[in-house]
Amino acid sequence: MYDVIIIGGGPAGVSAGIYAARKKMKAAIISDQLSGQSVVSVDIQNWVGSPSISGFDLAQLLETHLRASGGIDIFDGEYVTEVKKQDSGAFLVTVKSGKTFETKTLLITTGSRRRKLGTPDEDRFEGHGLVYCTICDAPLFKGKDVVVVGGGNSGLESVVDLMSYASKIYLLHRGSVLKGDPTTQEKIMNHPNVKVIFNGETKEILGEGKSVSGLVYEDKTTGERKTLAVEGVFVEIGVLPNSEIVKEFANTNEIGSIIVDPRTQKASAPNIWAAGDVTDGLYRQNNISVGDAIKAILNIYDELYVKGK
Ligand SMILES: Cc1cc2nc3c(=O)[nH]c(=O)nc-3n(C[C@H](O)[C@H](O)[C@H](O)COP(=O)(O)OP(=O)(O)OC[C@H]3O[C@@H](n4cnc5c(N)ncnc54)[C@H](O)[C@@H]3O)c2cc1C
């Protein structure tokens, strides 16, 4: 029986693991991958303590620190498929390989995944001309015309990533003003190969077999349907929290983010805490995930060892 099982090994989970080890808690961390979402980022410039670090190097640093802390069990490469509450109040955690683990408390740090467009045939094109990770796949579109869907920070960053490769980049945004960082907006607006389209709602992806040949959008101001001749569609329209495993126990908001008390990171159900991108916290950043997860593990420690529950 563990005191706490941390599910998810991104910046939040790893930080919680390091603190659990320092507190000498009987703890385990289970993650399909010790790294987190920003592992694909070529340059992270806001990780406090480093003006510039790649996502890969950051992931390595986090893992090295976690392993050096010792004292907690690390199950890397294991994906949690089910969490069940037992009559005793403890949780039974099952992973894909079939192993089970028992724990008094849970800290959910499972992060989030990309939101899909919802167009017909989206799955057919996925991984070919339809891309959800620009940083990963931008080089494959050298000399091609592409469209980035989404006018938030991720959409803007995608355009910047594509500037070194694609010959023409459309940025298709549903709204009438871009939402991202002003410096990046300026860079995009002034670039000769970028065209920003406002009030455009994606309707369909065109193509033969798995190859993309265009994107149809509706101009929301006129109702007219227009086609962009592109070979690549980069989807950057937001994230969905990976909260399914505890949805039965913990309250979530309209997009499935686990609702937590921001003072403690405690969820609505007894003995469940959550931190990082899986929660209803307002901001999704590496540093924030780390701080929230530390808050959570300290609160779990207080509940179990200080208050002696
Ligand atoms: C391309 C990109 C660039 C970014 N750049 C920056 C940046 O420059 N600066 C910044 O501050 N933030 C950046 N972010 C945001 C930042 O990556 C996130 O805020 C941060 O990773 C959230 O950390 P987390 O630990 O909550 O979740 P995640 O990083 O999502 O980690 C969750 C982990 O849990 C694992 N997991 C999920 N479900 C299960 C399960 N059922 N069983 C086992 N394991 C599971 C996942 O595989 C993953 O390893 C970027 C994000 C992206 C996508």
Same domain? 165 vs 247: no
Instruction: Pick the atom of ligand 1 nearest to 245's CA.
Output: 41
* Residues forming a β-bridge with 19: none
Looking from the CA of residue 13, the nearest atom of ligand 1 is 25
Q: Are residues 92 and 35 in the same domain?
A: yes
- Cβ of 11 closer than 6 Å to ligand 1, yes or no, is yes
Q: Do residues 231 and 253 share a domain?
A: no
The closest alpha carbon to 122, from 20, 233, 201, 27, belongs to 233
pTM: 0.82
Angle between helices 11-22 and 55-69 (to 10 degrees): 20
Distances (CA, A) of 261 to 251, 258, 272: 11, 10, 11
Residues 82 and 16 both lie in one domain: yes
pLDDT in tens, 184-211: 899 999 999 999 999 999 999 999 998 9
Atom 6 of ligand 1: nearest residue by CA position: 38
- pLDDT for position 181: 81
Residues 245 and 229 in one domain: no
* 273 & 287 share domain: yes
Domain shared by 266 and 216, yes or no = no
Atom of ligand 1 nearest to the CA of 133: 1
Nearest-CA residue for ligand 1 atom 37 is 110
Gap between the terminal Cα atoms of the chain? 15
Atom 17 (ligand 1) nearest CA: 38
Nearest-atom number in ligand 1 for the CA of 38 is: 17
Count structural domains, the chain.
2
What is d(CA 44, CA 299) in angstroms, rounded to the nearest whole number? 29
- Compute the distance from residue 186 Cα to the ligand 1 centre, in Å: 27
User: Which of 235, 255, 287 is where one domain is finished?
Assistant: 235
How many CA atoms does the CB half-sphere of 182 hold within 13 Å? 0
CB of 33 shorter than 6 A to ligand 1: yes
One pLDDT digit (tens) per residue for the chain, 309 residues? 999 999 999 999 999 999 999 999 999 999 999 988 878 777 788 899 999 998 899 999 999 999 999 999 999 999 999 999 999 999 999 999 999 999 999 999 999 988 999 998 888 998 789 988 887 788 889 999 999 999 988 899 999 999 999 999 999 999 999 988 888 899 999 999 999 999 999 999 999 998 999 999 999 999 999 999 999 999 999 889 999 999 998 999 998 999 999 999 999 999 999 999 999 998 888 999 999 999 999 999 999 988 876
**Domain final residue pick, 208, 235, 262:** 235
223 and 258 fall within a common domain: no
Ligand 1 centroid to residue 244 C-alpha, Å: 16
Residue 70 neighbours by CB under 8 Å, 6+ apart:
21
Q: What is the CATH number of the domain that holds 223?
A: 3.50.50.60
Tell me: do 243 and 282 sit in the same domain: yes
Q: Can you read off the two tokens belonging to residue 34?
A: 């010790």
pLDDT tens digits, 6-17 = 999 999 999 999
- One domain, residues 162 and 208: yes
Residue 278 alpha carbon to ligand 1 centre in Å: 9
Smallest CA separation from ligand 1 atom 29, residue: 36
- The reported pLDDT for the residue numbered 309 is 62
In sequence order, which residues have a C-beta less than 8 Å from that of residue 125 and are 6 or more positions away? 205, 207, 210, 212, 233
Distance, in Å, from the CA atom of 146 to the CA atom of 214, rounded to the nearest integer, reads 9
User: In terms of domains, do 103 and 194 share one?
Assistant: no
**Cα(190) to centroid(ligand 1), Å:** 31
Residue 62 CA to ligand 1 center (angstroms) comes to 13
* φ/ψ (deg, to 5) at 236: -135, 65
Is the Cβ atom of 94 under 6 angstroms away from ligand 1?
no
Which pLDDT does position 99 carry in this prediction?
96
Q: Which domain holds residue 160?
A: 122-235
pLDDT value, residue 13: 98
Which of 235, 255, 286 is at the close of a domain?
235
- Ligand 1: does its nearest atom lie under 6 Å from the Cβ of 111? yes
Any ligand 1 atom below 6 A from CB of 80:
yes
Query: Within this chain, do residues 142 and 204 fall inside the same structural domain, yes or no?
Result: yes
CB of 289 closer than 6 angstroms to any ligand 1 atom: yes
